[in-house]
Amino acid sequence: MNEKNPKVGKFNKRKDDDSNAEPAKKRKRKLLAASEEILSDSDADSGDERKRKQVEESSSEEDEETAQETRLRLAKDYLTQLHAQEAEKEDDDSAQQDLISHRLQQDVLMERGKLHKNIASEVEIPDVSALRVLRGHQLPVTCLVITPDDKCVFTASKDCSIIKWDVASGSKLKVIHGGRKGTEEKHTGHTAHILCMAISSDNQYLVSGDANKLDNKMHVWNPDTCEHIHTFTGHRDAVSGLVFRKNTHQLFSASHDRSVKLWNLDELAYVESLFGHQDGITSIDSLTRERAITAGGGDSSIRVWKIIEESQLVFHGHKGSIDCISLINEEHFVSGASDNTLALWGIHKKKPITTVVNAHSGTGDVQNTDESWISAVTALPNSDLIATGSKDGCIRLWCCSADFKSLRPIGKVPAVGFVNGLRFSSNGDFLVAAIGQEHRLGRWWRDKKARNSTLIIPLNRKTQAKQS
């Protein structure tokens, strides 16, 4: 057995050869005693270790609490220093704080639709010599937008091109050339009459739409470089209106297919469609709220689309086709129609608050006889200043009363041709008009005396003139 198991054999051999070995019981007692000593020492060490760790943990917790208290104390000291510094600031700093506070109050009033700046009474009607004419399009200028910093203007035309202008010098900065019909697959851009444009509040996106019933595309551009970014498709007829919701990348588009579509430019994606109009939509506008307002053209209706509530408000009052619309604030808006009437509306009333009959062909109750319907209207947001255009040879400026119950004419500026688009600069220092020999939506008339151009109209303030 020993030969088969060498370990056992070796162990037995060592035991047999050790003649001086201690008795087994005695050795066992020594081993047990030694092990007990070791265990007791280990327990003592481990107990001390546990105590030490407990002390360290409690110490660390105390240190952590002390650090928090220190941070709190330093924060209080910092706030005390800030208060002391604020108290020592000069008058101009306090004035700046007052301006910030005033701006915040204005933002609140603007969101509620209660902000109303009195600007119209201070505007001086410029002389003809002060007007600036920019020429570059071969066919009628149909629409325009102004960059948020008021330094540049984009204009579009029936020649399918877009031009970027410098406001200060009147020079061309960029040109997006149009293409010929039938080259849609090869040409990047428009191959049909451009009817509308919109620019985002942060100057990140410029969007344009045209009258191509087969192509039905909207093109997205970079306003700085005029490079093409994306193309949207979805409408089944001409795209007649575009507007960004203020301070967002939410885009509303309106079409002759009677629908309004919502797009997300951050995702470059389609969101949803809105239906309700019984005729092609001719104009659209939006401000801060998640709403859009549209003019239904031949159905003689105006609709306010409440996106969150998934509902719409319907307004009637014009006797002809409603051609243009513009929001004054979140609660009031103005519209112009082929019956040559200018109407002022409140969001809570289904009928106009007031109507100016024959707004572009004299005064009185006699209906329009010279077909000078209102083709363009714009309001300087949250103010009393409004501008309208037709084909009667002038652009008219209006003052909206503080109670929103009346519209008063304050002057007119010569403009030969069809006024197809109007825009105020952000602070109302100037007005830009898109002029053409034809109406932007058709060729019912043609004014051969007119020039296809962009008109920049300076609007100085009377108080500024007195100070200078």
Burial of 45 (0-12, 13-18, 19+ CB in 10 A): exposed
- Compute the half-sphere exposure of residue 106: CA atoms within 13 Å on the CB side of its CA: 11
Q: For 381-390, how does the pLDDT look when each residue is reduced to its tens digit (9 = 90+)?
A: 999 999 999 9
Q: Quote the CA–CA distance of 467 and 67 in Å, as a whole number.
A: 59
To which residue do tokens 């967002």 refer? 248
Per the domain annotation, does 60 fall within a domain?
Answer: no
pLDDT in tens, the chain (468 residues): 443 334 333 333 333 344 444 454 445 454 444 444 444 444 444 455 554 545 444 444 444 456 667 767 777 776 676 666 656 555 455 555 555 555 555 555 555 556 678 999 999 999 999 999 999 999 999 999 999 999 999 999 999 999 999 999 999 999 999 988 878 788 889 999 999 999 999 999 999 999 987 777 899 999 999 999 999 999 999 999 999 999 999 999 999 999 999 999 999 999 999 999 999 999 999 999 999 999 998 899 999 999 999 999 999 989 889 999 999 999 999 999 998 999 999 999 999 999 999 999 744 333 444 567 899 999 999 999 999 999 999 999 999 999 999 999 999 999 999 999 999 999 999 999 999 999 998 877 888 899 999 999 999 987 654 444
> DSSP letters of 70-125?
HHHHHHHHHHHHHHHHHHH--HHHHHHHHHHHHHHHHHHHHHHT---B--GGGEEP
Per the domain annotation, does 387 fall within a domain?
Answer: yes
CB 303 within 8 A of CB 277: yes
Q: For 300-313, how does the pLDDT look when each residue is reduced to its tens digit (9 = 90+)?
A: 999 999 999 999 99
DSSP secondary structure code for residue 183 in this structure? -
Per the domain annotation, does 15 fall within a domain?
Answer: no
Instruction: Please report the pLDDT score of residue 25 as a whole number.
Output: 47
Q: What are the residues facing 284 on neighbouring strands?
A: 294
Q: What are the residues facing 417 on neighbouring strands?
A: none
Per the domain annotation, does 285 fall within a domain?
Answer: yes
Q: Quote the CA–CA distance of 365 and 359 in Å, as a whole number.
A: 11
Instruction: Please report the pLDDT score of residue 389 as a whole number.
Output: 96
CB 215 within 8 A of CB 208: no
Per the domain annotation, does 198 fall within a domain?
Answer: yes
Give the angle subtended at the CA of 159 by the CAs of 153 and 160, to the nearest 5°.
Answer: 70
CB 358 within 8 A of CB 371: no
Burial of 426 (0-12, 13-18, 19+ CB in 10 A): middle
3-state secondary structure (DSSP) of residue 66: helix
Instruction: Please report the pLDDT score of residue 3 as a whole number.
Output: 38
Tell me the Ramachandran region of residue 167: left when phi exceeds 0, alpha when psi lies from -120 to 50, beta otherwise.
alpha
Closest CA to 420 of 176, 160, 194, 175: 194
Closest CA to 244 of 310, 160, 148: 148
Per the domain annotation, does 13 fall within a domain?
Answer: no
Instruction: Please report the pLDDT score of residue 409 as a whole number.
Output: 95
Per the domain annotation, does 259 fall within a domain?
Answer: yes
DSSP secondary structure code for residue 234 in this structure? -
Q: Quote the CA–CA distance of 290 and 313 in Å, as a whole number.
A: 14
Calculate the CA 115 to chain-centre distance: 19
Pairing of strands 311-316, 291-295: unpaired
CB 143 within 8 A of CB 440: yes
CB 93 within 8 A of CB 421: no
CB 240 within 8 A of CB 196: yes
Phi, psi of 66 (to 5 degrees): -65, -40
Q: Quote the CA–CA distance of 412 and 454 in Å, as a whole number.
A: 17
Phi, psi of 426 (to 5 degrees): -60, -35
CATH of residue 394's domain is 2.130.10.10
Q: Which domain holds residue 445?
A: 121-467
> DSSP letters of 327-363?
ESSSSEEEEEETTS-EEEEETT-SS-SEEETTTTS-S
Closest CA to 344 of 404, 390, 279: 404
Other Cβ atoms closer than 10 A to 302? 25
Where in 391-429 does DSSP place strands (E)? 394-400, 407-414, 418-424
**CA separation, residue 333 to residues 163, 328, 344, 390 (Å):** 29, 5, 6, 19
Per the domain annotation, does 229 fall within a domain?
Answer: yes
Residues 6+ apart with CB under 8 A from 431: 378, 387, 395, 413, 422, 423, 424, 425, 456, 457, 459
Q: For 53-89, how does the pLDDT look when each residue is reduced to its tens digit (9 = 90+)?
A: 454 444 444 444 566 677 677 777 766 766 666 565 5
Instruction: Please report the pLDDT score of residue 60 as a whole number.
Output: 45
Instruction: Please report the pLDDT score of residue 114 as a whole number.
Output: 60
Amino acid (1-letter code) at residue 177: H
The total number of structural domains in the chain stands at 1
